[in-house]
Amino acid sequence: MKKQSAWSPSGFRNVILLLLLSGIAALLVLPASADTSGGPGGKPIVTITLQGSQSYYLGEKVRMFGTNTGSDSTYLFITGPNMPGSGGKLTSPRQAVVSGNADTFTMVKTKSDATWEYSFYTANLPFDAGSYTLYAVSRPVAVSQFGDSTTYGNVSIILKNPLSLRRSPQIRSHGKRHSRSPDLQRGIRRKSRSGSSEKTTHPLRKAR
């Protein structure tokens, strides 16, 4: 008498079905992640963009943001008039950034989706009006030591003096308005106080 085989087609189908369901469940449980492979060929990229125009008055807040697929931190610095040749820290522009020393840079944490953002406050900082360049780097490297392997982005920015208009007193002459200079005003006051100007007497009053 032959023994009955333990294998059956229906049991095999159940095993396959269980494996498929397990795979689908694993895919659903895994969290979605952003593509941080970088640029062409998987090379890391760093970008920097300014909100609004690239021209600001000193004292305004400059909001910047970008991407960094090369590291968990983004390193920021600035170059421009009266700045160190290697670049300056955003919060202390006259302090030179030093390659390899992260504390000399303005460091921003890169988010899980490979983006970063930072608000740059220009008030009460030793900036002169002029054109500057903002840099974002994947590693703490000064601009003077950039090489082929340096991953960075940059953007130009113009910082302007705040408007402070003062109106001068005006006088009329033949229907036209003219600005009266402060020196002229002081001279008129002195003359009127000293009484040195000649007084004209009307002829009719003199006859009386």
Please state, rounded to an integer, the average pLDDT across all residues of the chain.
77
Instruction: Kindly state whether residue 188 falls inside one of the protein's structural domains.
Output: no
Instruction: Kindly state whether residue 32 falls inside one of the protein's structural domains.
Output: no
Instruction: Kindly state whether residue 6 falls inside one of the protein's structural domains.
Output: no
Look at the chain and report how many structural domains it folds into.
1
User: Which residue from 27, 60, 23, 65 is spatially nearest to 46, judged by alpha carbons?
Assistant: 65
Instruction: Kindly state whether residue 22 falls inside one of the protein's structural domains.
Output: no
Answer whether residue 198 shows pLDDT above 50: no
Per-residue pLDDT band for 53 (boundaries 50, 70, 90) equals confident
Instruction: Kindly state whether residue 91 falls inside one of the protein's structural domains.
Output: yes
- Mean pLDDT for 162-177 is 50
Structural domain that includes position 109 = 41-160
Instruction: Kindly state whether residue 200 falls inside one of the protein's structural domains.
Output: no
Answer whether residue 87 shows pLDDT above 60: yes
Instruction: Kindly state whether residue 105 falls inside one of the protein's structural domains.
Output: yes
What CATH number did the domain enclosing 124 receive? 2.60.40.1930
Does the global pTM surpass 0.75?
no
Top pLDDT among 175 and 140 is at 140
Instruction: Kindly state whether residue 59 falls inside one of the protein's structural domains.
Output: yes
